[in-house]
Structure 1
Amino acid sequence: MSITFKLAWKSLLNRKTTAMLTILTVAISVILLMGVERIRTQAKSSFANTISGTDLIVGGRSGQVNLLLYSVFRIGNATNNIDWKSFKEFSAHRSVDWAIPISLGDSHKGFRVMGTNHSYFEHYRYGQKQNLTLASGREFDGLFETVLGADVAKSLGYDIGSDIIIAHGISDVGFSRHDNLPFTVVGILAPTGTPVDKTVHVSLEAIEAIHVGWESGANLGNTPTKKQLEQFDFQPKQITAMMIGLKSKIQTFALQRQINTYKQEPLSAILPGVALHELWGMMSVAEQALLVVSIFVVVAGLMGMLSSLLTSLQERRREMAILRAMGARPRHVFTLLVSEATVLTSIGILCGVVGMYTMLAVAAPIISANYGINIALSGITSHEWMLLGFVQVAGIVIGFFPALRAYRQSLSDGMTIRI
């Protein structure tokens, strides 16, 4: 460590309270800047990792963002359903390798219920083409069996063998519940960090069975019993959406065009990646607003440091005169003030990074449980290093203002202080 930095360190120790407040200001601004950037990038990554390996998502005619939101993220509702005949036709298409039917509309204590078949557990992928795995139990086989997402089981305290009651529609209220048709939990999926964790999975046949005796969301009073329904062989009439995997990526656009121009009913086929890009384009204004706010907080923190240095400078003119008497040149005084600003900024950045990781470690489970966004405590990225570098450089530049003033004062004062 050079003599200048040693002197700067001793000077800061002599002004502990002011230095600590300045460091705290810089640290808080760095925590906000890095925290916003980390949550923004992790949220985008979490959304992008929700679905993987699916070439097309098909639903009733609507915008591609709306179709993506309700079919993948369980947000909102479909404008129209798909006829089961249409699903059978396209699932048997020569270019289709697999197809997953999805039926939405019911709920259980705030969690969405999704009807599907075994293709979902076999072909659905998330993250880096990771497949779904069961933490315990097995896939549903019987009519009134269900497989729960990890968050559903954890938050509601369910285990294998528990019975649950599904409600008609999104609102889980007494008059909408299928009270006489309980489902038995036979499987619990391992955590994925996606909306799968917050989903109750049942068979398509079960969706048809529980709605016997219901019309337009109302119970007509003639609902059969569980034993009676198990005697029937139910076939879906309609589904909400379907996910398609193709044998060759080359056939994607041809099949998409064929589905979009399907004459039997109005359908929309979207590419998940393109829809995600459009979704983030819509949210870019909010992203930029958050970034601007965090940048202004950093600026405010640095301005606080500047104010502190300038305020203390008048009181330190005698100190500067003593340094001059001991042989220090004006450039040494200039370097001393810049070094102090550099040290304050560096310690503030270090405290801010440690504080950010500490806060994320505490908040990550809460964010994951409530918003389904996994915040990984990974190392600092190149972009984050660049942001920290800008903060450090800005702190050094801030130090030039009091340093220049001290430089001029030391020239004019010499060893005689004029106050």
Structure 2
Amino acid sequence: MISLILKSFRHRWVTSMVCLLSIALSTGLFLGIQQIRNSARESFTDAVSKADLLVGARGGSLPLLLYSIFHLGQPINNISYSTFEDIEKHPAISWAIPYSLGDSYHGHRVVGTSNALFEHYHFRGDNKISLKAGNYFSRPDEVVIGSVVAKKQKLKVGDPIILTHGVSSEGIFQHDQTPFKISGILNSTATPLDKALFITLQGMELLHEGWESGVPPEEQTQLSEEEMNRLRPNQITSFLIGLKSRMMVLRFKGMIDQYKNEPLTATIPALGLQELWNTVGYVESALSLISLCVLAVGLMGIFIALYSSLQERRREMALFRAVGAGTFHIFLMLIGEAFFLVFMGLIFGLALNYLALYLINTWFIDEFSLFLSLKAPGTSEFIFIGSTLISGVLAGTIPAIKAYRQSLQDGLTVQL
């Protein structure tokens, strides 16, 4: 039976390959979408861990999360640094990481922060930030850069760089009178940290020294290291909080939301991410629907190929029956052809999926800060594979039934 099926494929190899490739491409597309979607969820969720609250100016939780952690969009407003200092002193807080945004370097965000970022920021569970080369900043005019920034801009420790005001790739203008020196390069994290540059809060003030009127001064005053260290920020964008007890999260969130000195918003990062998934859920559904439509076209191709070939194969079927093959054997042979096409299409589709994900993984990390985890097929994938096999068998059932009903005389009679 198997040898007959293989010979049938060799005889009709063009049609068979078209059907097989259609199944393989649709399988690879569907499974690829599922794995990219799951990896995106994991990457976004794992971008920050062990953080209880993110605090910023009054506004939406999702925009606050996007511009603070994922460096997407622009801050709506800033908060006073005195507010950060006041809340940071609360006895329930274990640590706090400030963020000051608004500048960039060739489209990469510059983040004003403190050494608390390197000490307390966790991602993907227990992983912490580490250095690939150099040291963390120790002066206001030093900068630590992410791995993608170093790779794309071909930078190394000790290089001077000029930062740009504004967050667009072009920027508004360059801070060419305040050069920074690269003190360290971070190891790759497959998070938005890779595409950012980090300076001290004093460094952020240094960039905007003399901007009291809202525009840069005509002549920039060069400050000594002692004067730079005395700079004090007036505002920051947001800050991340780790509490001593997670049982305090909701209570502390309510306290911040009702903070009297200025209007604030506190969000739990995991809940903000859930809002993001609810927002983009229709995109995921649309992509899955497209891949299912491609699969349906592939299965329809199998049905059409088998059904349209019956007229040509009448004599072939009749000869099989003349040499002793029963009608049920012919039925099974056509079912077997459909099953084999779908089975091989699924195998090639799985191989194509994992090969493609492996090849684009580095590009995804560099471009989107998303780590594609190459996991074995899960429950939903096995359900898809099983359903596709059953659908393939059903696609071959109608042609098989028609072949079953053909008479020996019909196959041997010359059709005029």
- Specify if TM > 0.5: yes
**Counterparts of 1:46 and 1:12, CA distance in 2:** 43
- Note if 1:200 corresponds to 2:197: yes
Structure 1 equivalent of residue 25 of structure 2: 28
Q: How does 1:183-262 map to 2 (within 5 A)?
A: 183-215=180-212, 218-227=215-224, 230=227, 233-262=230-259
- Note if 1:308 corresponds to 2:305: yes
**Counterparts of 1:186 and 1:283, CA distance in 2:** 38
Residues 315 and 226 of structure 1: is their aligned pair in 2 closer, same or farther, counting only changes over 3 Å? farther
Question: Contact 2:51–2:241 at 8 Å: present in 1 too?
Answer: yes
**Counterparts of 1:57 and 1:265, CA distance in 2:** 16
Deviation at 1:10, TM superposition (A): 2.3
Which range moves more in the overlay, 358-367 or 30-39?
A: 358-367
- SS state at 2:72 partner: coil
Question: Contact 1:49–1:126 at 8 Å: present in 2 too?
Answer: yes
Identity %: 39
- Note if 1:287 corresponds to 2:272: no
Structure 2 equivalent of residue 54 of structure 1: 51
Structure 2 equivalent of residue 384 of structure 1: 381
Deviation at 1:225, TM superposition (A): 1.8
Question: Contact 2:318–2:408 at 8 Å: present in 1 too?
Answer: no
Question: Contact 1:213–1:222 at 8 Å: present in 2 too?
Answer: no
Which range moves more in the overlay, 372-381 or 251-260?
A: 372-381
Q: How does 1:97-108 map to 2 (within 5 A)?
A: 97-108=94-105
Deviation at 1:258, TM superposition (A): 0.4
Aligned residues: 416
**Counterparts of 2:150 and 2:120, CA distance in 1:** 23
Question: Contact 2:206–2:228 at 8 Å: present in 1 too?
Answer: no
Structure 1 equivalent of residue 337 of structure 2: 340
**Counterparts of 2:68 and 2:373, CA distance in 1:** 26
Deviation at 1:173, TM superposition (A): 4.6
- SS state at 1:219 partner: coil
**Counterparts of 2:12 and 2:305, CA distance in 1:** 11
Which range moves more in the overlay, 316-325 or 77-86?
A: 77-86
- SS state at 2:232 partner: coil
Q: How does 1:349-364 map to 2 (within 5 A)?
A: 349-364=346-361
Question: Contact 1:181–1:226 at 8 Å: present in 2 too?
Answer: no
Question: Contact 1:168–1:217 at 8 Å: present in 2 too?
Answer: no
Q: How does 1:149-164 map to 2 (within 5 A)?
A: 149-164=146-161
Which range moves more in the overlay, 28-37 or 9-18?
A: 9-18
Deviation at 1:14, TM superposition (A): 2.4
Kindly provide the amino acid, as one letter, of the partner of residue 392 in structure 1: L
Kindly provide the amino acid, as one letter, of the partner of residue 356 in structure 1: N
2:70 equivalent among 70, 73, 77: 73
- SS state at 1:314 partner: coil
Instruction: Quote the RMSD (CA, aligned, Å).
Output: 1.7
TM-score w.r.t. structure 2 length?
A: 0.96
Which range moves more in the overlay, 108-117 or 20-29?
A: 20-29
Q: Please give the per-residue CA displacement for 1:137-171, whole angstroms capped at 9, x wherever unaligned.
A: 11100110010011000110001101111111113
**Counterparts of 2:298 and 2:247, CA distance in 1:** 53
Which range moves more in the overlay, 314-323 or 26-35?
A: 26-35
- Note if 1:87 corresponds to 2:76: no
- SS state at 2:184 partner: strand
Question: Contact 2:20–2:342 at 8 Å: present in 1 too?
Answer: yes
Question: Contact 1:325–1:415 at 8 Å: present in 2 too?
Answer: no
- SS state at 1:186 partner: strand
Q: Please give the per-residue CA displacement for 1:332-370, whole angstroms capped at 9, x wherever unaligned.
A: 111110000000111111111111222222222222211
TM-score w.r.t. structure 1 length?
A: 0.95
Which range moves more in the overlay, 117-126 or 6-15?
A: 6-15
1:370 equivalent among 363, 367, 377: 367
**Counterparts of 1:171 and 1:347, CA distance in 2:** 48
Structure 2: segments with no counterpart, 5+ residues:
none
Question: Contact 2:140–2:228 at 8 Å: present in 1 too?
Answer: no
Structure 2 equivalent of residue 7 of structure 1: 4
Kindly provide the amino acid, as one letter, of the partner of residue 85 in structure 1: S
1:118 equivalent among 111, 115, 118: 115
Which range moves more in the overlay, 348-357 or 213-222?
A: 213-222
Residues 16 and 231 of structure 1: is their aligned pair in 2 closer, same or farther, counting only changes over 3 Å? closer
Deviation at 1:208, TM superposition (A): 0.7
Deviation at 1:262, TM superposition (A): 0.5
- Note if 1:329 corresponds to 2:326: yes
Deviation at 1:417, TM superposition (A): 5.9
